[in-house]
Each structure stands twice: as C-alpha cells, then as structure tokens.
C-alpha cells in the first residue's frame, strides 16, 4: 500500500504548487497574499462536506449533472474498430464543461467575502459560464476577452451581456486570449481587496491548476461509474481522449484514471495549419518548450529570446500559447500522450459528428474526435474509447460555415459576426 | 559591495534622497535608448532601472506595455539589453544599473548563463516582478551568490506577517510599490506612503525607495521626503512614446531629480 501511494500520479502538486518542475507561484508580490489565502480557503473547503454538498446540489439541479455517457453506435460502426463513448458535457447548462469549475470557484469567492468576479475568456464559454453563475448569485461580473475573439464569438458576447456581465474587449498586446489573461491579472492586482479571479483552465499560479482540476474531475469520476453501469462492474476505458487548450476538460477526464495503468490517456492539441508550419498552431507540448507565464512554469510557445508567441487555431478556445502545468508534467513523465490535430482534420470531425450522431460539437472537442477517427479503425472492437464531448457547437457554426464556403451573410445571425 | 550599496552609502553620507529613473531598454530603438541612458546620470539619476522588454508584462500599465512593444519591434532582446548596459559602462563605472523585467526571458536563456553575462555587462541588481519570495530558489539566491543584488517589491498587501519573508533575501534596496495596481495608474499620496515606509524601515536597514504613481517633480519631492528615494518610470517613458527628442526627455528627468533631491 505504501508503495502504491508512493507511485501514485495523483499526489501532485507538492506544497510549492509544483508538478515535477512545472507549476509554482510566479506572481507579483501584490497578489501573493491573496493567492496564499485562496489556498487556505480551498484547503478548508476541500475537506468540508457542506461545501461539496452545495456543489453536488448545484451540479445536479442547476447544471444537469451527471452528463450522459453515450455509446456512439453509428460512429463506432462507421469507423469499424474501437467502441466509442462520448461523455456529453456539452449538455451541461451553458453548453460546455466550463460551468463545473466556475461553480466551485464562485462558491469559494462567496466564502471569502469577495463581491466582484473577473474572468478571462477565449471562445467565450468560460465567460458565459462565469456570467451565468454570477447572475445566479447576484455578483458583479467583468469578463476580459481578446478583441479578435469578441468579433469571432459574437453570440457568446451577447449572451454574457444578457447575463449582466461587463465584457471588456482587450486590445493590449495582440488582443488574444493570453492578453485577456494579462488584463485580468492587471485588474486583479488593482482591485485585489474585493475581487476574485475565476480562472477558466488548469493554469495560473498554484492553487488554480489543482483546484480547477479537482472541480473538473467530476467528469472522470462520472465516467468511471457510468461505464461500469453500461459495460459491467470494474470495466475501465482502454483509452480516454480530450482536447486541450489550457487543458481543463482533459484534466477533468484524465485525473481519476491516472493510477489505472491499463488506461491510455491522450490529449489533443490544436495543430492549426500544421505543427511544422512556423507558429501557425498552438500545440504547446509538441511545438513549445518550458517557460514561465501567467503564474506557472509550463510548456510555452516562445521564440529563442523567451518572448511569448501567439498561437493559431480555428478554435478560439484552444489558441492559448501555454498548457496547464500538470499536463506538462504528465507529458514529461510519459503518463499521457499528446498529439496534435489540424484545423482541416477538426472540421472533418465536426461534420462527421453532425452527420453520424446528430451532435453539433464545438470546434474544441472536434479536435479530440478527429484523433478518435485516426486511431479507432485500427483498434479491436472490444477496445473502449471515452472521448470528452466538452462543448456544443452553436457558437462555432458561423466560423464553420465560412470555412465550408456557406454564405450566412444574409441571415440575421450572420450579419455582424465577422 | 555592489555599485548599488556604494551609491546608497554615498547618498546617506551626503544626507540626500535617491532619484531612480526607469527606462525601457531599446525604446524606441537601441541607439536612441543608449543615448538617453548615457544622459541619465548628468540629469541627476542616482540609480538606473533598465526595463527588459517582454511580450506579456502583467504588472505594467499601457505606457510600459507599449514601450516594450516598441523595443521588441525594433529588435530588442535580452542580449541586446545587456549590450546596451555594457556600452553605458564604457563611460560610467559608478551609476548602478538595475535590470527590471519578467522571468521568462531570463529562464529561457538559463539562469547561470544569464547571471554571468549580466554581471559581465555591468548590471548590479535585478528586479523580477513575477518572482515572489516563494520562488527564491529560482533566481534570487543564485543572483546573490553571483554578486548581484536582488531587489524585492513590497506592496500595500504585504502585511506584517509576510514582511519578514519579503525582506529575508532582499539586498540593495527595498522597492515599495505605493499602490495596489499596475505601473502608471493611480497617483501615490505621500500621506499614505509615509507610515508604510516607516513600517518597512522598522524591519530592515536597507534603503526603502518608493515607486508607482509618481509623475511630477512635486510628487517626487513629496514621496522622497517620506522615504529614501523615489522612482519614476511611466511618466518618463510616455515622453519617449510621444516622440520627444532625447534632450527634452532628459530635461524632464532633471526636473524630477531636482524635485526628489530637494526633499
């Protein structure tokens, strides 16, 4: 037993907030006391049954958990190999996995007496989830969003505004997700007394990567019992697959399986136009190297001078130049495999999901599905793949239409989206 | 004893407050920036804070962000920043240079190589915004071992419980950030800053210099009168951003240093 514990992959991070060399607390002194008090508060909440009782209640009645684990039969037959299950987190309230984590952080913010919530968002899913939960609890909400993303994700911008959030288009730097995170950090450092920063992914200074992972782990925990229910007691997936930008939906699916050595773990990064194309992608692990940004050490897209590069992806939810530190560690120790999928492959998977299963996926999980399409045909029929369908595609139909050459400019919805 | 320690010893002997000026290395280009830096000592600058450009300056307001972008667009790198310091050192071997920036360019180069190169180039101290005491083993301790000062920021959120930890491995001077916020934002008030400086000085013998939100000679005087000196950054950098000639920027710097020195 002692040996098992020693060998566990689930003990991270250490007290410095490190997963191996990754993670840490690389923030300015102004934020440090707050980061420490957040860690204390989270440690208390984690061991407090009333905190989890409140989470469970909200997950069930507000979010609609558990999300179904769905056997994708036609897709399975079409690909002709492994048995494919989709974890339907796109059916959550707000249409993605993001709300799992937001609920946890907002409950913590309330415990800490913070009245103003800030968030960064790329595709807008985390922003919508944060605006939603803030509306539910009557908290002031400010969302930072890259100016470019504000344009390409107009429906989500409007949703956030309907939900009462203030959406601030970020034009500093290049006006992308990483710049939105910079501006959120600048806001936080300025309003540290009343403001809680609700980070949307498993990145940032400790304790965020661990905390967000813990909140998202509900995904993998449900998969464990749901698969056992459908495939028999004790049956684990043979492969779990999820898309990765920062990596929160993936960490949520992977974490409960880290110590099950029979389970292959695959993370799918956004390959944009191809990882060989110089910086036309955002595959931090396959195309980056370790560095320090936004409070943690992790793999980053950067030039020889340590200047951060912009990612490129068809999916606004994936174009972040970094990745959660726990993924960086799992990559280095070889516990998980990380691959990349191009925009073109993701678009094909997007269409296949629509045609075969009647599910319009977000572009983010379309990347994961594209990798399923690559590997499933060569796997035996009793091999079970569980893929996280982490978001629905309503927000992406305009982008996809443009790439497929479908003209929506005459429709009401299409008029002002680009 | 570094040039920083020597400078503060001199100032103390002369019963004089320090004036510290921040400029971004390579803003708007290498040659203009070098000309400006070379002119700073004659404009009354006691310590030069040389900004190391970074794409993602999370603790800086728009003025310094844009300065970094200008420098990077003009081809500035960590190496060129050290080259600039070295070129300055050919003419001035006493004015301390503190390199101020973010950790990633340093980490990317490799801490050991960086420290050797920085020391060779005539850098005397480091301020690395995203390295709190919790990460001291990264750069702070190796820097001190290499003979460079590691200057820590203390802030209004650094309470009494935390202050000893912040001061523990600090050397050269303590940089008190007068506001919770980013560079170039709110304005510092001497009435608020005085008690905070006194609180820090009760726990350390190091000089306490105050920065953030100081933008006029009067403010520089007011702040310097309640501390061991004042730092001005954004107000100088915005003049460079507005395209003012070096001579005009240096006149402005002189007015600021006169303000601080009259305290």
Q: Residue A4 pLDDT more than 60?
A: no
d(C-alpha B96, C-alpha B8), whole Å: 10
Q: Are B229 and B20 in contact (CB under 8 A)?
A: yes
Q: Nearest chain A residue to B56 by CA: give it.
A: A182
Confidence category of residue A278, pLDDT binned at 50, 70, 90: low
User: Which of A174, A151, A167, A180 lies closest to A395, judged by CA?
Assistant: A151
Q: What is the pLDDT of residues B102-138, one digit of tens each?
A: 999 999 999 999 999 999 999 999 999 999 999 999 9
Cβ contacts of A293 on chain B, cutoff 8 Å? 56, 104
Q: In what order do the strands lie in the sheet with A264-272?
A: A69-71, A83-87, A384-388, A239-244, A264-272, A337-342
User: What distance in Å separates residue A305's CA from the closest CA in chain B?
Assistant: 6
The β-bridge partners of B150 are B126
B64 interfacial to chain A (CB closer than 8 Å): no
Q: Give pTM, 2 decimals.
A: 0.95
Per-residue pLDDT, averaged over A273-302, amounts to 86
Q: Do the Cβ atoms of A26 and B153 come within 8 Å?
A: no
Q: Do the Cβ atoms of A306 and B130 come within 8 Å?
A: no
pLDDT for the residue B53: 98
Q: Which domains does chain B have, with CATH numbers?
A: 3-150+228-261 (3.20.20.70)
Confidence category of residue A414, pLDDT binned at 50, 70, 90: very low
Q: Do the Cβ atoms of A172 and B54 come within 8 Å?
A: no
Helices (H) and strands (E) in chain A, counts: 17, 14
Burial of A150 (0-12, 13-18, 19+ CB in 10 A): buried
Q: Are A278 and A301 in contact (CB under 8 A)?
A: no
Q: Are A261 and A250 in contact (CB under 8 A)?
A: no
Q: Residue A38 pLDDT more than 90?
A: yes
d(C-alpha A402, C-alpha A418), whole Å: 10
Cα angle at B41 between B37 and B42, to 5 degrees? Answer: 110
Percent of chain A with pLDDT over 90: 82
d(C-alpha B32, C-alpha B26), whole Å: 8
User: What distance in Å separates residue A172's CA from the closest CA in chain B?
Assistant: 7
Q: Do the Cβ atoms of B132 and A32 come within 8 Å?
A: yes
d(C-alpha A340, C-alpha A180), whole Å: 24
Nearest to B182 among A189, A297, A305 (CB): A189
d(C-alpha B246, C-alpha B37), whole Å: 10
d(C-alpha A382, C-alpha A232), whole Å: 13
Q: CB pairs below 8 Å between A and B: how many?
A: 120
The β-bridge partners of B231 are B20
Encoded tokens for A245: 């930008």
Q: What is the pLDDT of residues B214-236, one digit of tens each?
A: 999 999 999 999 999 999 999 99
pLDDT for the residue A277: 59
DSSP letter at A257 equals G
Q: Are B191 and B160 in contact (CB under 8 A)?
A: no
pLDDT for the residue A375: 98
Q: Cα-flanking dihedrals φ and ψ of residue A397, to 5°?
A: -65, -30
User: Which of A202, A223, A172, A194 lies closest to A70, judged by CA?
Assistant: A223
Q: Are A74 and A357 in contact (CB under 8 A)?
A: yes
Encoded tokens for B177: 């950030």
Q: Residue A181 pLDDT more than 70?
A: yes
Q: Residue A418 pLDDT more than 60?
A: no
User: What distance in Å separates residue A354's CA from the closest CA in chain B?
Assistant: 39
pLDDT for the residue A173: 84
Q: Which domains does chain A have, with CATH numbers?
A: 16-59+97-205 (3.40.50.1100), 63-93+217-402 (3.40.50.1100)
B172: left (phi over 0), alpha (psi -120 to 50) or beta: left
Where is average pLDDT lowest: A262-266, B13-17, B178-182? B178-182
Tell me the catalytic residues of B. Answer: 49, 60
What CA–CA distances, in Å, run from A205 to A266, B132, B177? Answer: 25, 12, 21
């Amino acid at each position: 037993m002692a040996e098992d514990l020693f060998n566990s992959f689930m003990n991270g991070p250490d007290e410095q907030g490190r997963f191996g060399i990754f993670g840490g607390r690389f923030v300015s002194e102004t934020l440090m006391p707050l980061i420490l008090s957040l860690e204390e508060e989270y440690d208390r909440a984690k061991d407090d049954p009333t905190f989890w009782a409140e989470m469970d209640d909200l997950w069930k009645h507000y979010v609609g958990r558990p999300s179904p684990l769905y056997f994708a039969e036609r897709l399975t037959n079409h690909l002709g190999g492994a048995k494919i299950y989709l974890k339907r987190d796109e059916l959550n309230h707000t249409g993605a996995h993001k709300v799992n984590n937001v609920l946890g952080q907002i409950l913590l913010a309330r415990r800490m007496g913070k009245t103003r919530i800030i968030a960064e968002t790329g595709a807008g899913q985390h922003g919508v989830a944060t605006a939603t939960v803030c509306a539910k609890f009557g908290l002031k909400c400010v969302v930072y969003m890259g100016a470019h993303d504000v344009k390409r994700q107009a429906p989500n911008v409007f949703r956030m505004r309907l939900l009462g959030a203030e959406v601030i288009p970020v034009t500093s730097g290049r006006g992308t997700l990483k710049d939105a995170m910079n501006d959120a950090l600048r806001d936080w450092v300025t309003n540290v007394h009343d403001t809680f920063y609700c980070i949307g992914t498993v990145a940032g200074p400790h304790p965020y990567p661990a905390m967000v992972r813990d909140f998202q782990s509900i995904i993998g925990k449900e998969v464990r019992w749901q698969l056992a229910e459908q495939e028999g007691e004790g049956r684990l997936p043979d492969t779990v697959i999820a898309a990765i930008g920062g990596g929160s939906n993936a960490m949520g699916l992977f974490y409960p399986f880290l110590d099950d050595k029979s389970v292959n773990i695959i993370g799918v990064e956004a390959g944009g136009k191809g990882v060989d194309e110089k910086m036309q992608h955002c595959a931090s692990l396959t195309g980056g190297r370790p560095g320090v940004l936004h409070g943690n050490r992790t793999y980053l897209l950067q030039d020889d001078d340590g200047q951060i590069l912009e990612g490129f992806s068809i999916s606004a939810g994936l174009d972040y130049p970094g990745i959660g530190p726990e993924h960086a560690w799992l990559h280095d120790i070889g516990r998980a495999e990380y691959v990349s999928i191009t925009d073109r492959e993701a678009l094909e998977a997007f269409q296949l999901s629509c045609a075969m299963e009647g599910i319009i996926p977000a572009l983010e999980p379309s990347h994961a599905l594209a990798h399923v399409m690559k590997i499933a045909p060569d796997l035996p029929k009793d091999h079970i793949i569980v893929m996280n369908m982490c978001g629905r595609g309503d927000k992406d139909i305009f982008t996809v239409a443009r790439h497929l050459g479908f003209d929506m400019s005459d429709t009401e919805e299409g008029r002002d989206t680009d | 004893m570094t040039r920083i320690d020597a400078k503060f010893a001199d100032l103390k002997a002369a019963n004089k407050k320090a004036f510290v000026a921040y400029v971004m290395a390579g803003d708007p280009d290498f040659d203009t920036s070098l000309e400006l830096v070379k002119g700073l000592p004659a404009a009354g600058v006691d310590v030069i804070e040389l900004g190391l450009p970074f794409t993602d300056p999370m603790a800086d307001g728009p003025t310094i962000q844009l300065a970094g972008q200008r420098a990077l667009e003009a081809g500035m790198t960590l190496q060129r920043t050290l080259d600039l310091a070295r070129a300055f050192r050919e003419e001035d071997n006493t004015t301390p240079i503190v390199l101020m920036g973010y950790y990633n360019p340093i980490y990317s180069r490799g801490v050991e190589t960086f420290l050797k190169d920085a020391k060779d180039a005539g850098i005397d101290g480091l301020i690395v915004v995203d390295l709190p005491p919790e990460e001291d083993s990264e750069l702070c301790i190796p820097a001190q071992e290499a003979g460079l000062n590691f200057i820590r920021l203390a802030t209004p959120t650094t309470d009494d419980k935390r202050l000893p930890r912040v001061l523990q491995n600090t050397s050269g001077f303590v940089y008190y950030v007068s506001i919770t916020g980013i560079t170039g934002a709110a304005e510092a008030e001497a009435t608020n800053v005085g008690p905070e400086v006194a609180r820090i000085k009760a726990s350390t013998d190091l000089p306490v210099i105050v920065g953030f939100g100081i933008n006029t000679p009067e403010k520089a005087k007011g702040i310097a009168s309640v501390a061991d000196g004042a730092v001005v950054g954004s107000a100088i950098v915005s003049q460079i951003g507005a395209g003012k000639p070096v001579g005009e920027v240096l006149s402005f710097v002189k007015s600021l240093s006169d303000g601080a020195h009259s305290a």
